[in-house]
């Protein structure tokens, strides 16, 4: 076989791999899967196409997303689509009992009920961020406090207030003292900053790429709706406003509208479940083969 024929033969698998769904990853509900080392430009998941983060694709899995196999896509720098299969496994979230001093946050008065309805509408509207916006963040995100204390294992926990009322905790609580300044996890735009019935003084920040971070129960807000902020900039101070049993940091994130564990974004992204490295290695080999000039080596 001469060198040219051999190179042509080596190139054949490229198209096969691009069309095949043999890139696989497993992730739990509330987790994030990653597809790295292929110089991605865009990613696709659940019918959405959105920008990659520094050449890597991330697939945020809402804590209520249906278990089973979901298709994922990666678009490389040449616009080629690569398909993969992500298996979402069931996560068992804890159940926590919480005692509140009275029924204010359990049996809502008509006024509070109306107030909450209006606030909820504003939050839902604010959360409709443009996922096509170029990401203004890198991973890991900036830690809101340094050092970052361990949080309770309370993400997506079912909370039972005073033995009856139920709700799901969509963020994480960590023991951080009253008045401690909380830093923005990345550059962004403040999409909502106000004092709300349940969440107390709350701030929601759009970081582009479909990522929103939020802090609740602050004692003080130091930003206003519409502000442009920088990574590491203080956005407010720890408090215990709204439905809270004491001062703490509540951090939550939504990414492409999925409620995921925020602590996953504060850790090294290499720790996230990833599409097998062998695929990336394979891809690197294909690139090498494409860039190679007819083999002057000993292939003849
Ligand atoms: Zn909380």
The CATH number for 114's domain is 2.70.70.10
The DSSP secondary-structure symbol of 265 reads: G
Does 243 lie in the same domain as 111?
Answer: yes
Q: What is the pLDDT of residue 21?
A: 58
* Distance from Cα 206 to the centre of ligand 1, integer Å: 19
Does 221 lie in the same domain as 124?
Answer: yes
* Distance from Cα 139 to the centre of ligand 1, integer Å: 23
Q: What is the pLDDT of residue 296?
A: 35
Q: How many domains does the chain have?
A: 2
Instruction: Give me the half-sphere count of Cα atoms (radius 13 Å) on the Cβ side of residue 110.
Output: 0
- Taking the C-alpha atoms of residue 79 and residue 63, their distance in angstroms, rounded to an integer, is 31
119 domain-assigned? yes
* Distance from Cα 152 to the centre of ligand 1, integer Å: 10
Q: Are strands 48-51 and 95-98 parallel, antiparallel or unpaired?
A: unpaired
**57: CB partners within 8 A, 6+ apart:** 34, 35, 36, 40, 43, 72, 74
* Distance from Cα 43 to the centre of ligand 1, integer Å: 31
* Distance from Cα 87 to the centre of ligand 1, integer Å: 29
* Distance from Cα 254 to the centre of ligand 1, integer Å: 14
pLDDT in tens, 20-40: 557 999 999 999 999 997 899
* Distance from Cα 157 to the centre of ligand 1, integer Å: 10
pLDDT in tens, 156-166: 999 998 888 88
* Distance from Cα 173 to the centre of ligand 1, integer Å: 5
Q: Under DSSP, is residue 81 helix (H, G, I), strand (E, B) or coil?
A: strand
Q: What is the pLDDT of residue 22?
A: 73
Task: Report pTM.
Answer: 0.84
* Distance from Cα 194 to the centre of ligand 1, integer Å: 17
* Distance from Cα 244 to the centre of ligand 1, integer Å: 8
Query: Averaged over 241-252, what is the pLDDT?
Result: 96
- Taking the C-alpha atoms of residue 79 and residue 99, their distance in angstroms, rounded to an integer, is 54
* Distance from Cα 225 to the centre of ligand 1, integer Å: 21
Does 49 lie in the same domain as 166?
Answer: no
- Residue pair 205/235 in contact (Cβ under 8 Å)? The answer is yes
Query: Near ion ligand 1, which residues have CB within 5 Å?
Result: 173, 250
138 domain-assigned? yes
Does 70 lie in the same domain as 186?
Answer: no
Q: Is the pLDDT of residue 253 over 70?
A: yes
298 domain-assigned? no
- Of the pLDDT bands very low, low, confident and very high (cuts 50, 70, 90), residue 183 is very high
pLDDT in tens, 61-113: 999 999 999 999 999 999 999 999 999 999 999 998 989 888 899 899 999 99
Does 236 lie in the same domain as 140?
Answer: yes
* Distance from Cα 142 to the centre of ligand 1, integer Å: 19
Question: 127 phi and psi, to 5 degrees?
Answer: -75, -10
Does 249 lie in the same domain as 109?
Answer: yes
- Taking the C-alpha atoms of residue 233 and residue 219, their distance in angstroms, rounded to an integer, is 17
* Distance from Cα 167 to the centre of ligand 1, integer Å: 11
Domain enclosing residue 107, as ranges: 95-265
CA angle at 263 for the pair 22 and 247, rounded to the nearest 5°: 160
């Amino acid at each position: 076989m001469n060198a040219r024929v051999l190179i042509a033969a080596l190139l054949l698998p490229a198209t096969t791999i691009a069309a095949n769904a043999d890139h696989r990853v497993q992730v739990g509900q509330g987790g994030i899967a990653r597809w790295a080392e292929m110089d991605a430009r865009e990613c696709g998941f659940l019918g959405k196409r959105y920008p990659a983060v520094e050449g890597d694709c991330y697939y945020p899995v809402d804590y209520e997303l249906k278990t089973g196999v979901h298709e994922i896509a990666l678009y490389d720098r040449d616009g080629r689509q690569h398909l993969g299969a992500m298996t979402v496994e069931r996560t068992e979230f804890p159940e926590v009992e919480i005692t509140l001093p009275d029924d204010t946050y359990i049996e809502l008065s008509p006024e509070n009920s109306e107030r909450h309805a209006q606030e909820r509408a504003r939050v839902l509207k604010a959360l409709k961020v443009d996922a096509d916006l170029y990401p203004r963040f890198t991973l890991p995100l900036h830690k809101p406090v340094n050092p970052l204390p361990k949080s309770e294992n309370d993400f997506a926990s079912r909370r039972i207030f005073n033995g009856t009322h139920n709700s799901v905790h969509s963020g994480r609580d960590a023991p951080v003292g009253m008045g401690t300044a909380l830093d923005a996890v990345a550059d962004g735009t403040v999409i909502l900053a106000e004092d709300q019935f349940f969440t107390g003084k709350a701030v929601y920040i759009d970081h582009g790429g479909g990522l929103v971070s939020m802090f609740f129960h602050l004692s003080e807000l130091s930003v206003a709706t519409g502000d442009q902020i920088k990574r590491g900039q203080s956005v407010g101070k720890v408090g215990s406003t709204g439905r809270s049993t004491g001062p703490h940091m509540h951090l939550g994130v939504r990414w492409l509208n999925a409620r995921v564990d925020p602590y996953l974004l504060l850790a090294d992204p290499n720790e996230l479940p990833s599409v097998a490295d062998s695929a990336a290695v394979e891809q690197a080999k294909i690139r090498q083969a494409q860039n190679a000039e007819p083999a002057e080596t000993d292939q003849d």
